[in-house]
Structure 1
């Protein structure tokens, strides 16, 4: 049930009055409780101070425990005293013994014996009583009789004081407070209700009357309130709103007439459909001309009767999408005229709401003439595009053939030049190496003999050692030149790369200088057999390990591992050598396997830049491949792939 504003205000004010009275009662109860507690604490405190003074006087007079009991029994009989006890602490019990009536009986007694006074209210025979337990500390005057030291808690006093007379006084005060407070609140509420009705409810009734009149069409109704406050300002704003509404209505009539003239004179067909029934509810004269139906026949005509039978589902799907999205899109289609002829149209739709009902406004544009022009243009464009594509394809094919021919010519020319250079260099190097090999061998033999005949401390012995070192270096350079110029054609046989790596590390340990670096080897026990030359593969691995040794330096580490690898080219046995050096420089990655290319300083050691080139040649002769890259943790990685051996197959380079 809906309540009127007058009844609501009565309920609100009554609620405020009730809440105020309840708040006063709650506050008075709380304040009375606090007041009663404070009175009880003061009364009990003053009484225990009196008891303490008399007990101290009795003790000074030497009356002992009997004197204390007499004081307690006498003061307990005072009016308003419900209970009075003396409680002995552990030191007194130890000195004088424990008595039943002087031991602590509850938590308040024990708290006071710990040195903290305890207070609380309790009920006794229908009234409240204030109970206070106060600590008794040792004084200087009592040290002659007691074993405790000054300041120590030796006992406590517990007193319960009746608060009955105070409860009566406070209850009377509470009643007066409630009577006066409730009366004042009631009078205030009545005055507020009367004032509210006069200053608020009656003006609101006037505003309601004005709103109903305007809703009924009386736009000339005005409230003209004179209250001198915000209600009057609201009435003025209401009158201004009514004036603006009247002007807007006149403006809307003008716009409606103008819009109607625009729709009626439009060249395109405009129809309005009910989204729920899909019936045409409005149409302009252009729609009648386009469809051949008079406007009267178009109204309440199902729109689907105008569409092609074979495209009904398409139109339904488009219509649903327009309704779902809340906006329209351009859509091409066709309608069937009354005489049965098809007319191609373009539909522009939009969703709107009229009189609370969702409507679909569609604008149909006749595309008969435009489609004729478009068909002609499309046909001519298609013919032109076909001609251009045909000529472009012929030109591209010619250019592609010309580019491929030119590229092959340049590639052949470059390979021919490089081959000629390398052949000439190889023949010249082989001749020089052959001519130098015999003298170097003689120099090395004579130097070895002289070193054996020279004492260790001879001043010229170090010169002979340098001569031998230079001769050995020359010997290895000549061997590399001969290997590069005239590769050895050793016999191939089944072999295991695990054994090849182990043999290389064992036979060339001194040359690799194993003591200066750390070698970590990880062999795959299931590594497949390969078909190759053991000596040539040892040379490949030795060259790579020596490079890794030089890159890692003294104290570095070389990681050697073997793995079985399968990819799109088949199954391979792989050997990987990784060092902890600086890695391969970016400018050297594409040239690292070129003959005579080196990243080391020329003129020292045994390096002339042929080691990796020879290694790649040997690996290619074994039908494999060698690759190099930098490891993500640092250092260079060289990986060799040799095809796994299958009986009956011969590996060709």
Structure 2
């Protein structure tokens, strides 16, 4: 879009109009005050333009025609006249709403996985003694008359023990992930979606993404949302491994192993690698090498469970051996191996 010094939009492309909720031949007269939801964000935007002459990757909220809000990433550059005065500006806005929604869903999934792991531990540690208490209480009830005080006391113990077991069962039911819809998927589409979510944050730390996706891959049967969670976690781990370097590369590759009839997707980084003694524990729940508060230690264990549930496997290699030269390359490679869909038309639900 282009706007003048009065903040009037003088020109905007079709994509911009559609993003704001205007379709067809609608050509409304818009002002930035009409589009920006927050006056504070608009003021920050103007100050940056006046001070620096540009704005880069400014996150803000726009208001659409129907009043709904969208999250956008805004970059703009001032246009000056011969005397150096700002006469207008041109800007590019990217809709981040879907990206933010996906990230929130993934964060919620990881939190639920954490609750699930803790609930499983609670069930194991509490259900066993509760079962013993319940069993002995019921055995002792046979030794007393129903009208006696000891029998009534044991009845209270039985009732409260059953109530406690129900609380644990409800917690497990709440935290356990429900059945997921399975459908035929192209793993390349899943990888492309994930890169769209993560690439911006990677670029902020000067990490470049290189994609080499094989054409005509056979489909796999799976849950797209859960597989996206797996790959986002792998890419976030790769990002963390290269944060302190100030730069790095992530290589996303896919291919089909005809011998094993498996679709393979690899995420490789150029970080510091994983020590051999740590590799054996990386899939253990709550194991993490990140500082306190930076990770739950559940990401890889949850990812491992998801891939196992899809009939696949995860392989890790660190350092990475170059297949062409046989030399060791600094970094880590995670490979996701998923079986080829036997029936291309199969869609099932667990």
TM range (shorter): 0.3 to 0.5
Which structure has the larger Rg over C-alpha atoms?
1
Could you say which structure has the higher helix fraction? 1
What TM-score do the two structures reach when normalised by structure 1? 0.26
